[in-house]
A and B are shown apart, each in its own frame.
Chain A
């Protein structure tokens, strides 16, 4: 048998060879076709480029919405904070106002005292005055009652006549307010030495028989 004849024989046998195809091939082919259409750039049908655009657009929209929402929240919260702060500041202002009256009084007395004492004591008196302010606020916080008269008396007791110690002496100040107040209040104000931070702490001892004054 020549080569040509052999080849013809093989060709005729293979040419019409049609084996059966599994059913699973069709589903796989459908999947491949879908994926091919999905990845193909085509205007007429939905594909991954449309999906990418959609995702990008929605992502950008979400980011922009979040940013604008944040900005709106910040804007809307700022007045609210101010409104919240406002009553607080007013309250502080009221407290400060009530203190300032006492402060003004103490300032007057301090001025008088410094005038009497001279320049050497002016620093100390102002220091005491400041301390008395703290004393005022702490007593206000602690008791919430009649801090002003106590401070006033304490301030009055800072006068040189009341035995104001020199700056180098013991900083603990005892204010015998009972001598001057009409209600015979006995207030001991202890001013501690400087703390480690360099700040001054003030301790106020209020006796149990303290009476409040309505006026």
Chain B
């Protein structure tokens, strides 16, 4: 009896997608669409835009899957495509997007409160991130979640390193305040 591992399944899907088999493409979509949609949501203004970016991500994956050489994680490869597509979308919409000033978002200029045990779900965290201006959100995601350095972020977004740093700092302050408020509400309910 032969057990098929996850890697074998992914390899089979990849080979099918290289041959442009619709069944393999569907399997790939079912397996990774939610994960990639989560990434797209973090970099876009709303759900509709995220869905649009997700479609572009899958089109890119299907069209470039022959360039994946099994030398790294396939999920990581797809994540990178999703992030790059989201950044491309961000740059494309940059001239049309309203860039709110950091003072519009951060309610107080006090030092951030470091609550030891903030209770929040991923959904609540996502809602808080969605409220951030697009530039701050992008910098925060690239630095915190994807692990890019400020220099890389500056190159990717076409901004100065210091701008990246300040945007990250203000985004962090805002998020901490928001999450603290959520935690307080939860504790009072109990």
Contact = CB atoms under 8 A, between A and B. Distances in A.
Interface of A: 1-3, 6-7, 9-11, 13-22, 24-26, 28-29, 32-33, 36, 40
Contacts of A26: 29, 33
Interface stretch (B56-64, B86-94, B96-104): B56-64
A11 to B, nearest CB: 5
Given A17-B122, A33-B58, 18 more contacts: A1-B118, A6-B172, A7-B144, A11-B145, A13-B120, A14-B125, A16-B122, A17-B125, A17-B126, A18-B38, A19-B38, A20-B34, A25-B33, A29-B29, A33-B59, A33-B62, A33-B63, A36-B59
A21 B33 CA distance: 7
B42 interface: yes
A29 B54 contact: yes
Contacts of A18: 34-35, 37-38
What's the dominant secondary structure at chain A's contact region?
A: helix
A39 to B, nearest CB: 11
A14 B145 contact: yes
A15 B145 contact: yes
Nearest to A16: B122
Of all A-B residue pairs in the complex, the 6 with the closest CB atoms, nearest first, are A18-B34, A1-B114, A29-B55, A17-B38, A17-B122, A13-B122
B67 interface: no
Contacts of B176: 6
A7 B37 CA distance: 21
Interface string B102-138: 0000000000001110101111011001000000000
What's the dominant secondary structure at chain B's contact region?
A: helix
B14 interface: no
30 contacts: A1-B114, A1-B118, A6-B114, A6-B172, A7-B143, A7-B172, A13-B120, A13-B122, A13-B125, A14-B125, A17-B125, A17-B126, A18-B37, A19-B37, A21-B54, A25-B33, A25-B55, A26-B29, A28-B51, A28-B52, A29-B58, A29-B59, A32-B55, A32-B56, A33-B25, A33-B58, A33-B62, A33-B63, A36-B59, A40-B63
B175 interface: yes
A30 B1 CA distance: 37
Contacts of B78: none
B41 interface: yes
A19 B41 contact: yes
Q: Which of A1, A24, A36 has the most chain B CB atoms inside 10 A of its CB?
A: A1
